Chains A and B, each alone.
Chain A
């Protein structure tokens, strides 16, 4: 059952997050003093031009890559104060993720791609893992493709399997890094809908990183990240103009 993490208390909070690369004169601030909150039940879109630090910020919030400074509070825990093992257990228990590349095992069927997460992660028995995998695939409209290999699936179907792989754990947090970049808009739209459904129907806290402005209309909130600095997008700003303006500003 989806968990209700509460409508007002942020499920995930980033405070004064900074991430730098390099040292001395060649230091780069990919994320620069970013603070923001994510709430359960909403899909947040993080936009910005290439190289703006979006994926780096997602990696910090998802417990994949540490910040140079700052704090991430999730479920009442300081994520980056935990040990690596505790963070791994946190991700196992609460996090689902999809990436631009589908990254499915070439030799495993759609069903086994999902089963393996349950069996290796939670130690779910084989029969139950199979049942849950088939149920998830049916929800994703892939019920009749459960035994197909990735090479036999379209790009959109593969990404849906990847989404299913992340959703099968019923995560409280769902992170998606450019989930539609390899897809045409029809298929990409299906993926975005799945992510938004995860937020609205399963009450997950969903963060989507993308530079695709067409997703904006589906998101509950939109942030822009430019040169590592975050700002929330005003509702009356045309997203295409906003992104173009940011890109032009960087070139100057």
Chain B
């Protein structure tokens, strides 16, 4: 403990000298957290329709890799889920990619999402307020995200557009459904049937909710065993599957992952070099202790304790900065997810880098030359 006490005292009293090192650690941690958070957040678009809805169980066609790409199933498959004793509600759900025709005649990809619109709807995302759901009862009425207005070539409420040769009218706007894969177009089941090429007896999914939420997993397992030609997932399972698909199977995901790794590498190098320099700057002081016979291992403990405190100080500075920057990114509709496990992992990696820098500095400690003390 005395090493930590001396190291902290030395750091605090000489904080101006150590500040660059601490800031380097903080910068590194912020970079890691934000890039990783951006990576996580980047592909949340892939599961927005799952995460923002109330359905606990999703039953669809075979070999589903992501929620927005599924073979159609039949409306009669509704009974397969509805008949499960734990399920209190089951309903149909339509979701399919389609083409939006802009006023200038060019086309844009969109994702038509058709769900029940009553108050207990499992498929309607929570951003569809009761007022919006009422407006969507009108045939051809749609709700889009405000971030997609420019992409779709429209300006706002009341504007009309065209999907698959059908006229649609914007009756409402959501916020936070930005997606590079295609603009979300929310509507009723009836409107969705008109816009998609699904046949009258076809749907995309059956959605379900259990009386006891914890029963969802057991129901899913039973469905998988009973109906091998269908795919059954809990909402978290399908959400993660969809995000992972975009993360790993698309070039965008690989590129972002590579960028995050580069950020980690840059952070590690900056941290290690700065901490190493801060330690080496006191080499003469350590050399005097060595000359006085202080064992190298004890000086090493002091060096590592200093590296530890620099790491901790950097992490402490990084946390509020990371949260503030992530909040700021929201204003630009950039989603940065910072779950507790990510923050903890970032702190752990940062501390490992800080201590690693301390270990690197020990090499110089072990090779102290008396010449640095003598004229």
Contact assessment for A105 and B285 in the assembled complex, using a CB-CB cutoff below 8 Å: yes
- Complex Cα gap A99–B9 (Å): 24
- Complex Cα gap A59–B369 (Å): 10
B13 close to chain A: CB less than 8 A: yes
A154 close to chain B: CB less than 8 A: no
Residues of A within 8 A of B370 (CB): 59, 64-65
Question: With A88-B295, A126-B2 given, is the CB distance from A103 to B13 under 8 Å?
Answer: no
Pick from B285, B299, B302: contact of A103, CB below 8 A.
B285
Closest to B7 in A: A107
CB distance from A9 to the nearest CB of B (A): 23
Contact assessment for B285 and A104 in the assembled complex, using a CB-CB cutoff below 8 Å: yes
Residues of B within 8 A of A104 (CB): 285
Number of residues in B with C-beta < 8 Å to the partner? 31
- Contact stretch, chosen from B57-65, B240-248, B286-294, B322-330: B286-294
Contact assessment for B10 and A108 in the assembled complex, using a CB-CB cutoff below 8 Å: yes
A200 close to chain B: CB less than 8 A: no
Pick from B12, B14, B17, B293: contact of A89, CB below 8 A.
B293
- Complex Cα gap A106–B285 (Å): 9
B282 close to chain A: CB less than 8 A: yes
Chain A 89-121, CB-CB to B under 8 Å as 1, else 0, gives 111110111011101111111001000110111
Closest to B296 in A: A88
Residues of A within 8 A of B375 (CB): 50, 55, 100, 177-178, 181
- Complex Cα gap A120–B373 (Å): 20
B126 close to chain A: CB less than 8 A: no
Which A42-99 residues have a C-beta within 8 angstroms of B? 50, 55-56, 58-59, 62, 64-65, 88-93, 95-97, 99
CB distance from B308 to the nearest CB of A (A): 15
Pick from A50, A88, A101, A120: contact of B284, CB below 8 A.
A101
Contact assessment for A97 and B288 in the assembled complex, using a CB-CB cutoff below 8 Å: yes
Contact assessment for B293 and A99 in the assembled complex, using a CB-CB cutoff below 8 Å: no
- Complex Cα gap A142–B17 (Å): 26
Residues of B within 8 A of A149 (CB): 13-14
Contact assessment for A166 and B292 in the assembled complex, using a CB-CB cutoff below 8 Å: yes
Contact assessment for A112 and B9 in the assembled complex, using a CB-CB cutoff below 8 Å: yes
CB distance from B297 to the nearest CB of A (A): 10
B80 close to chain A: CB less than 8 A: no
Pick from B13, B291, B299: contact of A108, CB below 8 A.
B13
Closest to A181 in B: B375
Chain B 270-313, CB-CB to A under 8 Å as 1, else 0, gives 00000000000010110111111111101100100000000000
B331 close to chain A: CB less than 8 A: no
Contact assessment for A91 and B2 in the assembled complex, using a CB-CB cutoff below 8 Å: no
B6 close to chain A: CB less than 8 A: yes
A202 close to chain B: CB less than 8 A: no
B11 close to chain A: CB less than 8 A: yes
Contact assessment for B292 and A107 in the assembled complex, using a CB-CB cutoff below 8 Å: no
Question: With A107-B12, A108-B6, A149-B13 given, is the CB distance from A121 to B285 under 8 Å?
Answer: no
Q: Give the one of B10, B17, B293, B375 with max A CB within 10 A.
A: B293
A135 close to chain B: CB less than 8 A: no
B374 close to chain A: CB less than 8 A: yes
Contact assessment for A92 and B294 in the assembled complex, using a CB-CB cutoff below 8 Å: yes
Contact assessment for A62 and B282 in the assembled complex, using a CB-CB cutoff below 8 Å: no
CB distance from A175 to the nearest CB of B (A): 9
Residues of B within 8 A of A103 (CB): 284-285, 287-288, 373
Contact assessment for B288 and A120 in the assembled complex, using a CB-CB cutoff below 8 Å: no
- Complex Cα gap A97–B299 (Å): 17
Chain A residues in the interface with B (C-beta under 8 A) = 50, 55-56, 58-59, 62, 64-65, 88-93, 95-97, 99-101, 103-109, 112, 116-117, 119-121, 126, 149, 162, 165-166, 169, 177-178, 181
5 new A-B pairs (CB below 8 Å) besides A59-B374, A92-B294? A92-B295, A105-B14, A107-B10, A109-B13, A121-B298
